[in-house]
């Protein structure tokens, strides 16, 4: 009686599960009766993962190197202008009519040669090319003469930071022996000192949007000779540029609307994008058949 009770309380294994396990065991034994499943070797798995990661990095690096050969400023002027106007509309929440867009001419944008790197060392060569035969008179001469207004640069370089402004000025040293450049940024520079510099002849000025606008609004800096505005597209350590770093971007568009928009429309001033915009960025946002993001 006790044995029967003990037998009845023993848990029963589900017949279907038992049958399935028997089939798997039989199949494994037929394939290799000595096989002992150990699972995936963690050392081999780690090696394989590292190898895959290295391969992925190499492919990514190769693509980036390929993309970096294509800069915004080497694209046709029409596409550069389209990029600029798209950013202008987006940042200011406006939409220009087709008639308004037609008023902008491709000649207002400077195309830079593709075979010369856009770095600090080559900056002077690019600027010289943009001015053509008149480069010496516009960029090098140091004395005020009839028809030359004090404090009116021929070239204005706009950057996102004071440090970058100084870097680009180093690339223009060959032009500034007779006529010192104007450093138009707030860091370690007093407005009074900048006003003093602008009382003489100035061929080249470099600075940040906020301080440039302040000096123009004060009538310390004039725009009568302004032939070329260089927009520095250098990316900082976090990947931001003049047109993407929020506060600087807003200050730039404020400066543009106040003092450059009409000059661009009238053809008195040309714009030039300089450096550090790669084809990687061209894959993010469409502009006239190409994709450019800022």
Per residue in 144-203, pLDDT (tens digit) is: 988 899 999 999 999 999 999 999 999 999 999 999 999 999 988 999 999 999 999 999
Closest CA to 241 of 65, 60, 91: 91
| Contact assessment for residue 252 and residue 230, using Cβ atoms and an 8 Å cutoff | no
- What distance in Å separates the CA atoms of residue 81 and residue 110, rounded to the nearest whole number? 10
Closest CA to 205 of 257, 165, 250: 165
pLDDT given at position 114: 82
Which residues, 6 or more positions from 250, have their beta carbon under 8 angstroms from its beta carbon?
91
Per-residue tokens: 239? 């990947």
CA distances from 99 to 90, 96, 103, 235, 279 (A): 18, 8, 7, 34, 30
Residue 105 half-sphere exposure toward CB, CA atoms < 13 A: 11
- Ranges of the chain whose pLDDT falls below 70: 1-48, 50-51, 54-55, 57-71, 276-294
Give residue-wise pLDDT tens across range 264-286: 999 999 999 998 544 444 444 44
CA dihedral (152, 116, 264, 91) in degrees, to 10, reads -110
Residue 261 has phi, psi (to 5 degrees) of: -55, -50
* pTM of the entire predicted model: 0.72
């Amino acid at each position: 009686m006790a044995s029967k009770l003990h037998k009845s309380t023993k848990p029963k294994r589900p017949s279907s599960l038992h049958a399935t396990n028997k089939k798997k065991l039989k199949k494994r034994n037929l394939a290799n009766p000595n096989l002992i499943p150990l699972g995936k070797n963690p050392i081999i798995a780690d090696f394989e993962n590292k190898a895959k990661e290295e391969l992925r990095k190499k492919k990514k690096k190769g693509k980036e190197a390929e993309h970096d050969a294509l800069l915004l400023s080497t694209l046709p002027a029409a596409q550069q202008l389209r990029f600029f106007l798209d950013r202008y509309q987006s940042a200011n929440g406006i939409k220009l009519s087709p008639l308004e867009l037609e008023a902008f001419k491709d000649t207002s944008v400077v195309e830079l040669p593709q075979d010369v790197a856009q770095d600090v060392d080559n900056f002077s060569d690019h600027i010289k090319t943009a001015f053509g035969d008149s480069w010496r008179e516009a960029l090098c001469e140091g004395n005020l003469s009839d028809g030359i207004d004090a404090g009116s640069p021929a070239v204005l370089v706009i950057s996102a930071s004071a440090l970058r402004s100084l870097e680009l000025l180093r690339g223009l040293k060959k032009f500034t022996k007779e006529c010192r450049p104007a450093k138009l940024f707030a860091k370690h520079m007093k407005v009074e000192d900048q006003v003093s510099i602008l009382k003489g002849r100035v061929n080249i000025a470099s600075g940040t949007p906020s301080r440039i606008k302040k000096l123009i609004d004060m009538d310390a800096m004039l725009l009568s000779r302004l032939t070329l505005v260089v927009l520095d597209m250098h990316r900082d350590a976090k990947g931001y540029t003049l047109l993407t770093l929020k506060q600087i971007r807003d200050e730039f568009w404020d400066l543009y609307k106040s003092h450059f928009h009409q000059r661009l429309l009238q053809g008195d001033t040309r714009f030039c994008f300089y450096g550090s915009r790669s084809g990687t960025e061209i894959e993010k946002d469409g502009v006239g058949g190409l994709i450019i993001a800022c």
